[in-house]
Amino acid sequence: MGFIRKLLGVAPTPTDDGAFKPSPLALKLATSATTDYDGGSYAAPYSGDAKRVLVICTEERNMTMANGNKFSTGNHPVEMGLPMLHLIAAGFEIDIVTPTGAPAAIEEWAMPRDDANVMKLFRDYADALANPGSLSEFVANSMTDDAPYVAVFLPGGHGAMLGLPENADLGKLLRWANGRDLFTLAICHGPAALLAADDRNPFLFNGYKIAAFPDAVDKQTPAIGYMPGHMPWKFGEKLNALGVTIVNTKADNSCHVDRRLITGASPKAANNFGRLAAETLLKSLT
């Protein structure tokens, strides 16, 4: 059976560290060498005192699936890159942190290598991704009343389910952001990291509606070798149990705004999500 799956291009591809990246067929169906980035032109970008967006990246690479196989994941470059491009074009500055300050893990297999804008962004931020700030240090030292932040951004990629949903520092950050009326931005699997705020009753985002990658679609992806097994847990199911409603049923370009939480459903939503986030932040500052 493994030989047949390999012959058909649906067998996940082994990586050097003993994990698996998506099969050739899955890469053909689920990734692209270019994106639909619309150029990020804004008639009136922000030009006042520096306003910053804090990007929370995972530093973990491999997800252990239900069958014990490891999936090579991280932060999805399109779901991370297109929103960053829009936020930068709209006049905001970007800071990148990981839980401990270890390098951000990027799903290199999903990198759109023929997209000049995205490739330049990752070159420009190569040092920031290799040497990010520490979330724990940020929480200890930078959550002040005069901190120049307008939003917290949780990029997608299955890596958002690694280390972030149970991170106590992230829970403190999300509650601080919410208490100061900052925006929280999350796309695809990024909303899984909202679970970090689940140590209060009621849950910080109880009653919210979001767009996110559907659990039902994650269940289907092993059939084409996108992942080397089924998910170890379902983030949508956990959010639902805490009072969060996911508005989309497909991995489409859906985006949603509920109060100061802005969400997107999948890589297909990355451009629209980035523009929506940028325009919403700009409007909030006028």
Residues with active-site annotation: 188
Cα gap 86→84, rounded to integer Å: 5
Q: Cis omega (within 30 of 0) on the bond before 202?
A: yes
Cα gap 234→218, rounded to integer Å: 9
Phi, psi of 67 (to 5 degrees): -90, 5
Count the Cβ atoms, other than its own, within 10 Å of residue 5: 15
Cα gap 184→174, rounded to integer Å: 8
Is 18 exposed, middle or buried, given 0-12, 13-18 or 19+ CB atoms closer than 10 A? exposed
